[in-house]
Chains A and B, each alone.
Chain A
Amino acid sequence: MMRKIEGYDIQYDFSGFKKIADLIFFEGPFLSHYISDKGDDYLFYWVDKDETDNRWLVLRVSLANLQKYIAKELTLLQLIESPNDGYLYTVDVDNDVNYHNVKLVQPSALPGDYLPEADSYYEFEPIATEDAGELMTYELTIPYNERNRFEELLNKIGFPVSALKKVVSRAAVF
Chain B
Amino acid sequence: MVKPKFKYQKQIDELLAKGCQLPELFAPNNMAACRFVFSQEGHQNHIPQYMSNPKRMLQDINKGTANTSLLALSCFTTSEKAETFYANLRKAFKNVFTSIGDSLSEGKLTNEEGLKTSTSGNGHFDLYEYESCDLNKSFVITKHLIEKDDEKD
Contact = CB atoms under 8 A, between A and B. Distances in A.
Interface of A: 24, 26-28, 30-31, 46-49, 76, 95-97, 112-117, 119-120, 123-124, 129-130
B49 A26 contact: no
Given A27-B100, A28-B56, A30-B93, 4 more contacts: A24-B92, A26-B85, A115-B94, A119-B91
Interface of B: 49, 53, 55-56, 59, 64-65, 70, 74, 85, 88-96, 98-100, 152
B92 A31 contact: yes
A97 B59 contact: yes
A120 B89 CA distance: 9
Given A27-B49, A129-B65, A117 B91 contact: yes
Contacts of B94: 112-117
Q: Is the interface of A mostly helix, strand, loop or mixed?
A: loop
Contacts of B91: 76, 116-117, 119-120
Contacts of A26: 74, 85, 89, 100
A88 to B, nearest CB: 16
Nearest to A127: B67
Contacts of B70: 27-28
Nearest to B59: A97
- B49, B65, B92 interface centre (most CB from chain A within 10 Å): B92
A49 B92 contact: no
B95 A48 contact: yes
B92 A30 contact: yes
A116 B92 contact: yes
B152 to A, nearest CB: 8
Given A95-B55, A97-B59, A124-B88, A28 B95 contact: no
A123 B89 CA distance: 9
A45 to B, nearest CB: 8
Contacts of B99: 28, 30, 46, 49
A30 B98 contact: no
